């Protein structure tokens, strides 16, 4: 018999992972768009708001991997 509480926790973790992955991808696309269009981005750095010119924006690919705990032991 499966533990429903365990299944819910795994489901919640998978959903949280997918949500975080989607957010990271959206941010990466937005930053890349700003660089491409020449628009600056505004970030929080060392306790201050800083405007980063488009020519100084560094675009990084995001990669997130999820390992299903049920498949991990195989």
Alpha carbon distance 74, 72 (integer Å): 6
Q: What is the pLDDT of residues 63-72, one digit of tens each?
A: 555 555 555 5
**What residues in the chain have per-residue pLDDT under 50?**
1, 74
Contact present, 61 and 21 (Cβ < 8 Å): no
Distance CA 70, CA 12 (A): 14
Q: How far apart are CA 62 and CA 42, in angstroms?
A: 19
pTM over 0.95: no
In percent, how much of the chain has pLDDT > 70? Answer: 68
């Amino acid at each position: 018999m499966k533990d429903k509480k365990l299944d819910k926790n795994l489901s919640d973790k998978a959903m949280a992972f997918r949500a975080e992955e989607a957010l990271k991808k959206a941010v990466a696309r937005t930053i890349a768009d700003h660089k491409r269009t020449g628009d600056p981005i505004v970030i929080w750095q060392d306790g201050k708001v800083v405007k980063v010119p488009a020519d100084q924006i560094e675009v990084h690919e995001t990669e997130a991997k999820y390992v299903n705990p049920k498949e991990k032991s195989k």
